[in-house]
Structure 1
Amino acid sequence: MTATLATQISIAQALTAVTPDGLPFRFTAYDGSAAGPEDSPIHMHLATERGLSYVLTAPGDLGMVRAYVQGDLEIEGMHPGNPYELMRTMLNHLHFKRPTPAEALRIVRGLGWSHLKPPPPPPQEHLPKWRRTFEGLRHSRTRDKAAIHHHYDVSNRFYELILGPSMTYTCAVYPSHEASLEQAQHEKYDLVARKLDLQPGQRLLDVGCGWGGMVRHAAREYGVRALGVTLSAAQAEWAAQAIKREGLEHLAEVRFLDYRDVDERDFDAISSIGLTEHIGIRNYPSYFGFLLDRLKPGGRLLNHSITRPDNRLRSTGAFIDRYIFPDGELTGSGRIITEAQDAGFEVRHEENLREHYALTLGAWSENLQAHWDEAVAEVGYPTAKIWGLYLAACRVGFERNNTQLHQVLAVKLDDQANAHFPLRPTWGS
């Protein structure tokens, strides 16, 4: 290296400087530098200066995702619809160290100050939290509606390709490792129904009902009069068509409606499957209070939601917040149970289905890979790549116990403190 270039460093040198344990995959860059095992089946290539600027101006997962979505970061040796092995390798075997201020200065100076000018983010990226104020305060009705639209109104056909015939975008319950995704989703809905002890003629409210899977299952299998509500217009339209197709109009209904606008009361049961993650932890008291008010004495609530392994409030991460679930918040099952109890519910049962969500996500990834060409034609290559990355990363998160899935069963006592509950559970495994 000449004296005039003495301060310059290669991109590979910069990367290895912050990965003291080395790279578990092959890395190359447009400047000709390389690092990591040459025989690795996974090869990551930083193809452009714009990609380097993305990584330097948004350290962590956000910068790498931006470069990947824009095509500046290329990955070989995996299918973009199912990059599970890459995510597993990175999350389990890639360890970064935080550089000292002097080290960071040396790296940036060596790579060039010009790379600190952030390029425009990909068009698929949602606004950062501080710029979402035009949509209202966090978890206001207007902003919640915008967040749900960003995620769920992508394309019903795209969701059909990933989710399969059940159109169920929540954790399935696998009766065995050999069960199909459809069998596992049926078992999930049936487990919820059994925990709620649904009986013919009863009334069920399903908040955050998605494409109406629980509503249709309860009506079809249990003869229950079921009402579902969702903030996604696309979901409500699809659900209405499915209800009509199955001849369930006399029992089932799905409304495009905020759950807080449900006027009916005295429901025998309420199911909330995948809604709690969206409402905001500070809104738990009003959320559980509203649901308690809508139940008749002896009525049951089944709350099914993604959780953390502890009860601290933590962000979902920049990638998830900007590209997948804007304003999503997660905490532990202990916080959820506490808030339900403080609202007046008596909690009778809870269980963790963490491993089941890892299996569910694996099945969704396989569906995306199998229908890749049609998925790309439906939503475009960048969005399809985002979903491949998201599903694979979440799968590893559940496998590593970074996230969990809890079902909490609670009851509204009557005036005599009677829970109308059997001495022992009746729903089986």
Structure 2
Amino acid sequence: MALSNLMIDFMKKFDEKPFLIELKGKEHLIGEGEPLFKVKFNKEIPITDLMTSTSIALGEAYMRGDLEIEGDLYHALNCFLGQMGKFHTDKKALKKLIFTSSSKKNQKQEVSSHYDIGNDFYKLWLDESLSYSCAYFTKDTDTLYDAQNNKIDRILKKLYLQPGMELLDIGCGWGSLLIRAVKEYGVTGKGITLSKEQYNSFKNRIEEEGLSDKLTVEILDYRDLPKKGWTFDRAVSVGMIEHVGRDNYNQFISCADSVLKPHGLFLLHYISALREYPGDAWIKKYIFPGGMVPSLREIIHLCADYNFYALDVESLRRHYNRTLLCWDKNFNEHRTKIEEMMGLEFTRMWDLYLCACAATFNNGIIDLHQILISKGINNDLPMTRWY
């Protein structure tokens, strides 16, 4: 059988929503009904590549321009990626990619590969606060900046901060959450990160804001927290546990426990999944090396071992879909500049990443949860959802 026939036959399984494939000037309808989008293959993909990793094969073809989408990229992915359960992934052949080392050295390199590609790049498409996590939209007219501030405010209100408290941010990013907490709630704060770019930017912001007596940041692996002898009234971690690996979730919770005072509160904000799975091969290869998405149930299960009481669990899945679409809009408004900075293939890759993630949130393949936890029983909190 000709290569093209094998590829078309492979793609026929993705027939839940109709679309067209164009190959060698000939169109093929996949599914039944009026096609919702069109995929043009400028070059055939070997069936062996599709069988080894459907995600990598299609993703790399798009990055190279061997595969093009006619029309809106997000729309096409939103129609297609609800069928990711039909993707092939040869876990044996991709073992080193899917199951990477969780050593401190390797995880620092993995974090750096994503977050240290340049603050100037991130400033082009993130909002003014440089918040690189799910925003919270309270009304249709919210800008991305409004929604990111809403998210920070919601987290800080959930933590029930009081003047004089000490707050730890595990994976603090560029520091907007801690700066807001110190300024508006009268707490002192400490942030830890593995990203040199984020550390340098945050340190400069602390000095510029005149907060050096209230706020500090360190390059530190979360596994070194117990050695520090620090204690905090409150702790928060936003979008960080996804980088520690499934084998280390228990250690991550243990390290948070080691620095949290009795009756203290811990808010964990993270991309989650309905079930435990090792993650997408293309995302691991090109976007988040070593990334692993925890299920909600495995995190809740671990909390009991540390006498951590779950006070509130909230899903922000649709908020992350909208956040990603805002980012992609900003990204494409600066696309020419980004192509000049990063190159054409990188630009196509990043556009694909943002739209694919938006689509997977919309389809419920991944979720975003905030879990509010108390260390032991805390009867001093309001009995209602005060935030």
> Quick check: TM above 0.5?
yes
Report the 3-state secondary structure (helix = DSSP H, G, I; strand = E; otherwise coil) of the residue aligned with 1:161: helix
Q: Could you say if the C-alpha distance between residues 224 and 403 of structure 1 is closer, same or farther in structure 2, counting changes exceeding 3 Å?
A: same
CA distance in 2 between counterparts of 1:199 and 1:379 reads 44
Partner of residue 160, structure 1:
123
Contact 1:55 1:67 survives alignment (8 Å): no
1:232 to 195, 204, 228: 195
CA distance in 2 between counterparts of 1:195 and 1:92 reads 33
CA distance in 2 between counterparts of 1:128 and 1:175 reads 42
Contact 2:166 2:187 survives alignment (8 Å): yes
Q: Could you say if the C-alpha distance between residues 216 and 33 of structure 1 is closer, same or farther in structure 2, counting changes exceeding 3 Å?
A: same
Contact 1:18 1:97 survives alignment (8 Å): no
The one-letter code of the counterpart of 2:4 is I
Report the alpha carbon displacement of residue 52 of structure 1 after superposing the two structures with TM. Answer: 4.5
Q: Could you say if the C-alpha distance between residues 52 and 75 of structure 1 is closer, same or farther in structure 2, counting changes exceeding 3 Å?
A: farther
Contact 2:136 2:319 survives alignment (8 Å): yes
Q: Decide which moves more: 205-214 or 259-268.
A: 259-268
The one-letter code of the counterpart of 1:130 is K
Contact 2:21 2:38 survives alignment (8 Å): yes
2:335 to 362, 367, 372: 372
Query: Residues 46-65 of structure 1 correspond to what in structure 2 (within 5 A)?
Result: 46-48=41-43, 51-52=45-46, 55-56=49-50, 58-65=52-59
Q: Does 1:322 align with 2:291?
A: no
Report the alpha carbon displacement of residue 266 of structure 1 after superposing the two structures with TM. Answer: 2.0
Q: Decide which moves more: 260-269 or 394-403.
A: 260-269
Partner of residue 281, structure 1:
246
Report the alpha carbon displacement of residue 423 of structure 1 after superposing the two structures with TM. Answer: 4.5
Contact 1:285 1:343 survives alignment (8 Å): no
Query: Normalising by structure 1, what TM-score?
Result: 0.80
Query: Residues 30-429 of structure 1 correspond to what in structure 2 (within 5 A)?
Result: 31-36=24-29, 42-48=37-43, 51-52=45-46, 55-56=49-50, 58-78=52-72, 83-92=73-82, 129-130=95-96, 138-262=101-225, 263-309=228-274, 312-413=275-376, 418-425=377-384, 427-428=386-387
Q: Could you say if the C-alpha distance between residues 313 and 427 of structure 1 is closer, same or farther in structure 2, counting changes exceeding 3 Å?
A: same
Contact 2:98 2:279 survives alignment (8 Å): no
Report the alpha carbon displacement of residue 200 of structure 1 after superposing the two structures with TM. Answer: 2.0
Report the alpha carbon displacement of residue 189 of structure 1 after superposing the two structures with TM. Answer: 0.9
Percent identity of equivalent pairs: 33
CA distance in 2 between counterparts of 1:384 and 1:399 reads 23
CA distance in 2 between counterparts of 1:234 and 1:260 reads 21
Report the alpha carbon displacement of residue 22 of structure 1 after superposing the two structures with TM. Answer: 8.7
Contact 1:281 1:329 survives alignment (8 Å): yes
The one-letter code of the counterpart of 1:91 is L
CA distance in 1 between counterparts of 2:335 and 2:121 reads 10
Report the alpha carbon displacement of residue 321 of structure 1 after superposing the two structures with TM. Answer: 1.1
Partner of residue 11, structure 1:
4
Structure possessing the higher radius of gyration over alpha carbons: 1
Contact 2:331 2:351 survives alignment (8 Å): yes
Report the alpha carbon displacement of residue 164 of structure 1 after superposing the two structures with TM. Answer: 1.7
Contact 2:82 2:365 survives alignment (8 Å): no
The one-letter code of the counterpart of 2:39 is M
Contact 1:292 1:344 survives alignment (8 Å): no
CA distance in 1 between counterparts of 2:383 and 2:199 reads 37
CA distance in 1 between counterparts of 2:69 and 2:218 reads 42
Report the alpha carbon displacement of residue 319 of structure 1 after superposing the two structures with TM. Answer: 1.1
Report the alpha carbon displacement of residue 329 of structure 1 after superposing the two structures with TM. Answer: 1.6
CA distance in 2 between counterparts of 1:327 and 1:388 reads 21
Question: Structure 1 runs of 4+ off > 6 angstroms?
Answer: 93-98
Report the 3-state secondary structure (helix = DSSP H, G, I; strand = E; otherwise coil) of the residue aligned with 1:315: coil
Report the 3-state secondary structure (helix = DSSP H, G, I; strand = E; otherwise coil) of the residue aligned with 1:314: coil
Unaligned stretches of 5+ residues in structure 1: 1-7, 99-126
CA distance in 2 between counterparts of 1:252 and 1:258 reads 18
CA distance in 2 between counterparts of 1:70 and 1:77 reads 18
Report the alpha carbon displacement of residue 333 of structure 1 after superposing the two structures with TM. Answer: 1.5
Report the 3-state secondary structure (helix = DSSP H, G, I; strand = E; otherwise coil) of the residue aligned with 1:303: strand
Contact 2:82 2:360 survives alignment (8 Å): no
Report the 3-state secondary structure (helix = DSSP H, G, I; strand = E; otherwise coil) of the residue aligned with 1:210: coil
CA distance in 2 between counterparts of 1:390 and 1:178 reads 26
Report the alpha carbon displacement of residue 141 of structure 1 after superposing the two structures with TM. Answer: 0.6
CA distance in 2 between counterparts of 1:349 and 1:191 reads 13
Contact 2:222 2:255 survives alignment (8 Å): no
The one-letter code of the counterpart of 1:301 is F
CA distance in 2 between counterparts of 1:44 and 1:376 reads 23
Report the alpha carbon displacement of residue 243 of structure 1 after superposing the two structures with TM. Answer: 2.3
Contact 1:128 1:322 survives alignment (8 Å): no
The one-letter code of the counterpart of 1:419 is N
Contact 1:168 1:185 survives alignment (8 Å): yes
1:188-230 CA distances to partner (integer Å, 9 max, x unpaired)? Answer: 1111111111122211110011111211121122122111111
